[in-house]
Amino acid sequence: MKRIIGLFLLLLVLSGCAPSQAWYTKVDASQAKLNEDHGIFDFSGNGNLKYTYTLLCINEKGEEKEITFGSDTTLDDGTILALE
pLDDT one digit per residue (tens) for the chain, 84 residues? 556 666 555 555 555 555 568 899 999 988 888 876 555 555 555 556 788 888 999 999 999 999 888 888 889 999 999 988
Secondary structure of residue 23 in the 3-state scheme: strand
> The domain that contains 56 carries what CATH number?
2.40.50.480
Give the Cα separation of 66 and 73 in Å (integer): 20
Q: How many domains does the chain have?
A: 1
Give the Cα separation of 72 and 46 in Å (integer): 10
Q: What is the DSSP string of 31-75?
A: G-EE-TT--EEETTTTEEESEEEEEEEE-TT--EEEEEEEESSPP
Q: Is residue 67 part of a domain?
A: yes
Give the Cα separation of 84 and 81 in Å (integer): 10
pTM: 0.63
